[in-house]
Amino acid sequence: MDRPDITIRAIQLGERIELKGLEREDTFSKNPLAYRTPSGGIVALFKTGAVVFIAMTPPEEEAMIPSIMPRVAGALTERESETAHVLVRGQSDDLVTSSGMIQLRTTDDNRLLLVAEALAMSVAMAYDERRIAKAFERIAPVAQSLSARRLPAGSQSNYLEQIGEALTIQQRLADRVDLDDKPDVLWDHPELERLWIKLVDEYDLPARGRAIGRKLEVIQETSDTMTELLATRTSHRLEWYIIVLIAIEILLGLYDRFWK
């Protein structure tokens, strides 16, 4: 790809993208699944639900999305996106400037795929951060009630809905790409590891990953607490049912003895 500047855009389309069976003749990478378009651009698909468009115009990107959507599980109505601008500097080392501009020595496929990996992880984390923020808003009243030494108000269905949301977030994050796992490109081209480190640092991926992990632990603990509260409420309710039944039986016994 011989261009002095390239625009790369990542979009989080959904929860996951099913890549199995999508192999094409023009595929040059399997993880991520990447192939070229007739206009000379590149499309890279990630199982985490992100698609990355390289050297494509917005109309070309929008025209490509409908063909991808049948493979998307849990399509999003609010899509996270991030754009990177790449400049080619043949005599310079690969670097990320203070303004966020990415300078590459060449625009070979391996370097472009590393940039695509970083952007895909960034939009996936942005989606996770947004979901976790919403989950925190829902569990905040629970924490406030417990700190005030009283059981939180709410129906059983509301409890179950919040627990289900917490479990869904945990499942998604368990399937998310681990930052400790190197992109496949680096296994064959370890000389590009410095570029990857710079990209990871530019998009603040380690710090964001740790923050997500800490918040996930809080959600896990709150979910466990809510489960215990739900079990306690159910147990107390059963105890009251038993007490009422015993009282009715006693009253019926007294009625039979003194009024019949």
List pLDDT tens digits, range 4-24: 789 999 999 998 999 887 777
- CATH level 3 topology of 5-116: TATA-Binding Protein (3.30.310)
| C-beta of residue 133 within 8 angstroms of C-beta of residue 57 | no
Q: What is the pLDDT of residue 239?
A: 67
Greatest C-alpha distance within the chain: 108
The yes-or-no verdict on residue 244 having pLDDT over 70 is yes
Q: What is the pLDDT of residue 220?
A: 72
Q: How confident is the model at residue 212 (pLDDT cuts 50, 70, 90)?
A: confident
Model confidence pLDDT, tens digit, residues 46-74: 998 999 999 999 999 999 999 999 999 98
For residues 35 and 152, the model is more confident at 35
Instruction: Tell the residue number behind the tokens 């990415």, with chain if given.
Output: 102
Q: What is the pLDDT of residue 155?
A: 58
Write a three-state SS string for 176-198: CCCCCCCCHHHHHCHHHHHHHHH
Q: Which of the residue ranges 75-84, 107-116, 127-136, 244-253 would you say has the lowest mean pLDDT? A: 244-253
Each domain of the chain, given as residue ranges in start order, spans 5-116, 121-258
Q: What is the pLDDT of residue 43?
A: 96
Residue 196 tokens read as: 């990857």
Q: How confident is the model at residue 196 (pLDDT cuts 50, 70, 90)?
A: very high
Average pLDDT of span 227-251 = 71
Model confidence pLDDT, tens digit, residues 153-164: 655 566 666 667
| C-beta of residue 14 within 8 angstroms of C-beta of residue 82 | no
Q: pLDDT exceeding 90 applies to what percent of the chain?
A: 37
> Measured between alpha carbons, how far is 144 from 216 in angstroms, rounded to an integer?
18
Question: Average per-residue pLDDT in the chain?
Answer: 82
Helix H segments across the chain?
Answer: 58-68, 109-147, 156-175, 184-188, 193-202, 205-258
Q: Which of the residue ranges 121-135, 141-155, 204-218 would you say has the lowest mean pLDDT? A: 141-155
